[in-house]
Structure formats: C-alpha cells, structure tokens
Homo-oligomer: A and B are copies of this chain.
Amino acid sequence: MYRTHNCGALRIEDVGKEVTLSGWLQASRDFGGMTFIDLRDRYGITQLVFNAEDNNELAERAQKLGREFVLKVEGRVRERSNKNPNRPTGDIEIEVHTLSILNESKVPPFTIEDDTDGGDDLRMKYRYLDIRRAPVKESLIFRSKLAIETRKYLSEQNFVEVETPVLIKSTPEGARDFVVPSRMNPGQFYALPQSPQTFKQILMVAGMDRYFQIVKCFRDEDLRADRQPEFTQIDCEMAFVTQEEILNTFEGLTKHLFKSMKGIELPDFPRMDYDEAIRLYGSDKPDLRFGMQFVELNDVAKGKDFSVFNNAELIVGICAEGQAETYSNKDIKKLTEWMQRPQIGAKGLVYVKVNADGTFKSSVGKFYDDADLKIWADKFGAKAGDMLLILSGEAEKTRKQLNELRLEMGRRMDLIQEGDFKPLWVIDFPLLEWDEESERFHAMHHPFTSPKKEDVPRMLTGDHETMKSLRADAYDLVINGAEIGGGSIRIHDRALQSRNFDLLGFSKEEALAQFGFLLGAFEYGAPPHGGIAFGFDRLCAVMNGQSSIRDYIAFPKNNQGRDMMIDAPASIDQTQLDELRIDLQKEMSS
C-alpha cells in the first residue's frame, strides 16, 4: 500500500497517528540537523520532518532528494510548533521514520509553482509537469465538475445523453472538415463532425424528445489565437418546443452552473434583439459589464461644412466619462493611431471634450460651435469632464470599429469589475446574410435554422431584397462579451428546408447528396424542434474570468495544430498509405 492518507488530508485531530503518504517533493529546506520537505499530491501539501539527531542516516538521505522526486514515507503525525495558517494541513507535520524513493526526477525545465518561469512552448512540451501546477490542475478539475453539474441538471430535466458518431460524412459547406480515409471503402472518406447538428435533429425525428451530449467537435480552420481544431460542446436539442421554452431551459442550466460552481445567483437574463445589439454596441455579443452605449448623431451632425460627416452613412460615438482631463492631445493622437491600425481600420477619430465651464473642445470645433456640440453632448447625457469619441463612415464598418473602441476604453478606464457576470440573450438574428464576394446568401446560424413563423410566407415567395430582411428563431447566449452558446428553432418541414437550401445556393443534387437522409427523415413525421450548443471550453474560461481556453484543455494544440508533447501530426508509413490507397501529392513525397 502506498498511502493511508493523501497529502491534503491530515489535521490537528490526527496527531499521534502512524501514517503512510506518497507524493512529489515540492520543496526541501535544511536547517542544521533538521530537514523539512513539502510533499505534494493532487490533494495538498504536507510537511515532512527528518531529524538528524533521531536518525542521521535517514536525514542524510532526505537531504539528497531532488525536486519532483516521488517519495513514499511512513511516520507519525505531530503538531507543528510553527503553524502555517495558509495551508489546510498547516497545523501538523510528519515525523518520518521510513523513506522510500519510488522514482527519481531530473531537474524540471521550469518551476512547478503557481507562477512558473516556463514559457508557453516549454509548458506545452512538458504538459505533464505543467499540469502539476495548481492553476492548471484546478482548471481541469473545474472542467470535470462543470461537466458533472451540466449532466446533473440536464438529466433532471429529462434530457438523455446520446453518443453520436465521430466518423461521419463530409459536408463541404461551412467550415472545413477533417477527413479520414476509409480502408474498407477505398477512395472514400469519413469526416469528423463539426457538430452533431444533423444527428441531433435526427434524434428528434426519432422521438428522443430531449437530447444532450458533451461532445468533441472538429474544425480544420486556420487557427486564430485561442481556437482549437478539436473543441467540446454541450450540445442539446428538444422536440415540441418553442424558442421561449428553450431560452428558459438553458437560462436555468446557466444559473444552475453559476450557483453550483461559483455560488453566484444570476438574476434573470435580459434579452436584446440582434438589431438593437448592433445599434447600441456594434456587436452581436455586447459586453454589458459597462455602459458606453452607442449614440447616433446623423440627425444633428450633418448639414454643416464638415464633409466627412456629411458624406457618412453613419455618425456614431460613445461617451467616455471623466476622460476629458485624462486624455492630452498626444494621448488622443495615439488613440487615433490605434484605431487606424489595419486590424481596425478607422479613417479617423473625432473627439469632443466637455469643459468644466460648459464650453467644448473638439477636433471638429471649426465646423461646429458650442451650441451644436451642446446638442451632441445632451444626446450622450455627457457632463463636464466627459469626452465624446465619434466615428463616421459606412454603417456596418463604423459600428464594428466603434465596438473595438468601446471595449478598449472599457479596459483603459478599468470599468470591468472582477467577478462580475453579465449574461444576455441576443435574439431575432437575420436568417440569411448576403456575401458580396461570393454573391450568395450564407446562413447566419446554419442551414437548418427556421425563419420566424410570420416570415415564412415572405421566405417562400419573396424577392432577393426580402430575403435580407427575414428574421430567424435564432438566439445566442452572451456572457461578458463572449458568445457562450447559440441555437435556433429548426425547420422541420421538407419543403421549407428545400427552399432554404435553394436560397443558400445548393443545387437539388447537392442538397440530396449531403442532407438527403435529413430531408428523407422529414417525410416520416418530424416534430417541431430546436436546440442550442454551448462552447464548453469557453464557458469554463469565462466562468473563471479567463480570456484563454488553453488551461481548461488538458492537451491543447498550438496555432499550427500541433501537439507539442507527443509531436503530432507526424508522417506515416508507406504501408499505411498503401492500405488506405492514397499517395502524398508529388511536391510532398519528393
């Protein structure tokens, strides 16, 4: 037996007990004849004592132990003279009489401490050492518990967890699939699912009524920071259900998760329609932890001599409270340059400072007098000491730019309170979005999303422009500016689904080849249904106020899609290629 207790278990009540502990050497301190060792395992740290006066040979052996050695010790629990109130086991220590080295360790390439000196690449290569660090270990334990609470809540709501297949069929629409050559069906390929979307709909047709799954999904995309080629969803679907019931069910889930994991009682989630979110925040995932809503100035800023505004589709700004004094001309110049970087691409930035005496200072002061600017300031509700920041141009672009500026000002002004959570349902998304480049419609959510009931007739018969105005029963759950979940009521009518495929530019043949089984299923009594999927990795991170999902994934891949620890992907044998009847293309195999 390797242990009677783990390294986090012993307390003052255990004094006098003979115990066996096993774990890693976290730290070691020599004080003359006394050697103290911190022994660590997943559960905690316990102090070991070796006294040269009692057993010199043992104490000498203890002095030679290195960091991360794996030890088994037997000894007696005693009260510490010098207690450590920051550690649950801090009242006791173990007077060791037997020591076994279970395994040795080379000196780790970085320190196994909360704040490590290891860089990202090194941490990923030696992930087994990185996970020994408390912050990473706790993140993985948090994730495990979050999954348990998710399953608990959904099971109690009669959801059945059904495993859907990982080896499915490639659908070239949407993101790029990972594919898997089939040896038994030469020349053919499986694809890994981007989501179990069609299968969960099939399960509704199959009468499962309420489905969920915590499931791996796969997308072969160029990886932006903090995207992973494989990621995890809480995937859900319900039959005989309205949007209202879905929102209530998953608002309930979210509240349960925050309550059970963080002890936080979230109030009812506000709802905002997509158009309003865009108008007020320039984003379909607004961060409501601070204000600075957009204010539009078209009606009051046009018609003077400032041609930039006169020619703009939209003039819109935010009010940075109390920032008039803070921002020097130089600061504003820097901020303007920040906005002009290619990532944001603003042409310029107009400011208006409200002076203490009720006058104004503005970069467009020569076009607008104080009376004009007073009208602007009133629209913002601005007061003395505030600073308006105004952009203009093409509406959609300008709103996106102002969204970036708002978020940046929120950070600079330190408006985000740690531990604050502001959830929001964004609803009434457009059904289709027109893509200028490819000159075709894309599904805003996905091709199975239902238009709002009142928009169905217009969808079936309307013209091109009408299509742009269709609204869908689609919704996103946003927390603190991050999209946590998204879903929709689905089409359950074959004719309507065919019409949607038409609008999305699928030929009848393509639609049948890719989704024939779903269209077929719709002919055998498909019930009304809808669902949602939560990004599980993201949810973990947001609930802990983290911006990166990396530490909530045990073995993440880097931006080149590589697992640095196992060094994958890698080349495979010609034998394997031959069995699969594939070749590398020439430039590769040469």
Contacts and interface: CB of A to CB of B under 8 A. Distances in A.
A527 interface: yes
Contacts of A42: 207-210
Contacts of A155: 144, 148
Interface residues of A, number: 130
Contacts of A160: 140-141, 144
Interface in A108-142: 108, 126-132, 137, 140-141
Contacts of A170: 570, 572, 576
B567 A517 contact: yes
Nearest to A106: B523
A22 interface: yes
A506 interface: no
Interface stretch (A185-193, A368-376, A421-429, A475-483): A185-193
A40 to B, nearest CB: 8
A446 interface: no
A127 B206 contact: yes
Contact of A582 (B40, B555, B583): B583
A131 to B, nearest CB: 4
A557 B571 CA distance: 28
Contact of A151 (B148, B492, B524, B580): B148
A546 interface: no
B141 A521 contact: no
A560 B185 contact: yes
A261 to B, nearest CB: 14
A589 interface: yes
Interface stretch (A56-64, A173-181, A329-337, A462-470): A173-181
B69 A562 contact: no
Interface in A89-109: 102-106, 108
B178 A180 contact: yes
Nearest to A582: B582
A192 B230 CA distance: 12
A70 B525 contact: yes
Given A3-B240, A137-B208, A566 B517 contact: yes
A480 to B, nearest CB: 24
A168 B578 contact: no
Given A525-B70, A566-B169, A128 B202 contact: yes
A584 interface: yes
A525 B24 contact: yes
A419 interface: no
B166 A218 contact: yes
A185 to B, nearest CB: 5
A247 interface: no
Contacts of A298: none
Contact of A527 (B103, B209, B528, B571): B103
Contacts of A570: 169-170, 188-189, 513
Nearest to A220: B183
Contacts of A188: 569-571
A42 to B, nearest CB: 4
A168 B563 contact: yes
Contacts of A198: 566
A384 to B, nearest CB: 53
A416 to B, nearest CB: 30
B585 A190 contact: no
A290 interface: no
Given A241-B2, A568-B167, A583 B585 contact: yes
A68 interface: yes
A378 interface: no
17 contacts: A2-B240, A41-B209, A127-B202, A127-B206, A128-B206, A141-B160, A164-B554, A164-B555, A165-B557, A166-B230, A169-B570, A178-B190, A184-B220, A187-B584, A189-B569, A203-B554, A216-B216
Lowest 5 CB-CB distances: which A-B pairs, in order?
A: A105-B525, A131-B206, A169-B568, A2-B240, A188-B569
